[in-house]
Amino acid sequence: MKSKSLQGSSPDEIRSALNQSLSDGFAPTLAFLFISVKQDRESVCAILQELGIDIFGATSCGEFTDGHQSNGEIAVLLLDLNREAYSILIEDIGDRTIKETAVHLAKTSLQTFSNPSLILCSTGVTPSSDVFDGMTLVHELSEAIGRDKIFFGGMAGDDMTLSGTSVFTQKRETNHGLLALVLNADKVSLNGMAITGWKRLGISRTVTRSKGSFLYSIDGKPAVDMYLKYLGKDKEGAGLDFDVLNELSFNYPFIAERENSDEIVIKGPMSIDREENALVTDMEMKEGEKFWFSVPPDFDIVQEIIDEATDVKSSVGDDADALLVFSCAGREPALGPLVTMENEGLADVWNSPMAGFFTYGEFGRAKKGQQHYHSSACCWVALKEK
């Protein structure tokens, strides 16, 4: 399988780059299209559809290819994958539950191939602008399709506006649903990993009062007071416009342990609810749950990801045909230029064209772990036609 990546800041630039990529006889069948909500995705889809190229698309919080990173632009990864080796499924949730939708997706995938693996994107926020429940999605899909089955991906973005996200093909689009590239695992291999890299700070803490996404108290003390004081912020001086998400959460998320596992999960405060005097978190923190504050990221976080990818490649023993990266939208403000080093380093390790986008959540396997929903992670997957 051959692949090429391209990028542009307008549909016209994508058309020009696409024509150049086809000039040597390259005949792609499939395009991964990651695109800002500011862009005209209908026009870009029409350009690809004119050439008979299937589309796996998601809106983004920033997009990248090997050699380029952008915000508000377009990234494309083209593959000349045999159509007998894949199928694209899109599911609109509508009046169904996430469980019902995930079960239907799993059933259809297993009917398509006896041994399927998936590249999976969901929308990132609901039509009411709540964060999509990625944890329920991953749990239900894993149960329905089989825990031995592999899937990697992420939740669509909208340039950090939380106003509306989409996943789409050349024919259909949904602002509340799922998109899956179902691969015949006997024909295409997936090797990947989801890594956060954040390190624990100090002693463990205990959630002593919470309800849903509201975290009221930690170790018997008001959660808002403890979080801000511990990180050097004064609650009264912060003002009503204090931006927890952008000023603290990306750099200082919580580190918890998954139930019945020594694997960690990152949970981030999204905002302060002043009326409730509670932290609003992106994932539920249950009463009695143990967690740690975290150390701000540094170069070690990138090196860990590159080292782990190198180990995986050594065990596989071959380059990839293509590489996809689903990186949390919080990594860019937290890591700064290091996030570019992270993405470029992965492309160098696998020696393949790469494309990806900054997401509202990531799906994938941690090292030696099961499928999970992640926050603040870099989730990458290398594709190789057998």
What would the DSSP string read from start to end of 256-283?
A: EEPTTSS-EEEE-EEEEETTTTEEEESS
Q: Are residues 18 and 141 in the same domain?
A: yes
pLDDT score for 353: 97
5: which strand partners?
Answer: 77
- CB–CB of 44/33 below 8 Å? yes
Q: Are residues 283 and 307 in the same domain?
A: no
The torsion of the CA quartet 62, 64, 67, 70, rounded to 10 degrees, works out to -20
Strand, coil or helix: 51? coil
- CB–CB of 329/222 below 8 Å? no
374 vs 111, which has greater pLDDT?
111
pLDDT score for 146: 95
Secondary structure letter of residue 245 according to DSSP: I
Tens digits of residue pLDDT in 290-342: 999 888 777 888 898 999 999 999 999 899 999 999 999 988 888 888 899 99
Length of the chain: 386
Which range of residues forms the domain containing residue 243? 199-295
**Mean pLDDT to the nearest integer, 74-82:** 98
- CB–CB of 6/58 below 8 Å? no
Q: Are residues 182 and 207 in the same domain?
A: no
Cα–Cα distance for residue pair 142/187, rounded to 1 Å: 21
**Mean pLDDT to the nearest integer, 250-258:** 80
Q: Are residues 125 and 180 in the same domain?
A: yes
Q: Mark which of 262, 295, 328 sits at the end of a domain.
A: 295
Q: Are residues 102 and 126 in the same domain?
A: yes
Q: Are residues 322 and 204 in the same domain?
A: no
Cα–Cα distance for residue pair 362/358, rounded to 1 Å: 9
Q: Mark which of 263, 295, 327 sits at the end of a domain.
A: 295
Q: Are residues 183 and 122 in the same domain?
A: yes
Number of H helices, E strands in the chain: 10, 26
CA-based nearest residue to 157, from 380, 288, 303, 331: 331
With a cut of 50, say whether residue 258 has pLDDT above it: yes
CA-based nearest residue to 31, from 63, 3, 60: 3
Q: Are residues 244 and 381 in the same domain?
A: no
With a cut of 70, say whether residue 239 has pLDDT above it: no
Q: Are residues 48 and 190 in the same domain?
A: yes
pLDDT score for 246: 56
Q: Are residues 191 and 203 in the same domain?
A: no
Q: Are residues 334 and 274 in the same domain?
A: no
Of the ranges 49-58, 87-96, 160-169, 361-370, which one carries the lowest mean pLDDT score?
361-370
**Mean pLDDT to the nearest integer, 43-48:** 98
Give pTM, 2 decimals. 0.88
Q: Mark which of 254, 275, 295 sits at the end of a domain.
A: 295
Tens digits of residue pLDDT in 171-212: 999 999 999 999 999 999 999 999 888 888 889 999 999 998
Average pLDDT value for the chain: 91
pLDDT score for 13: 98
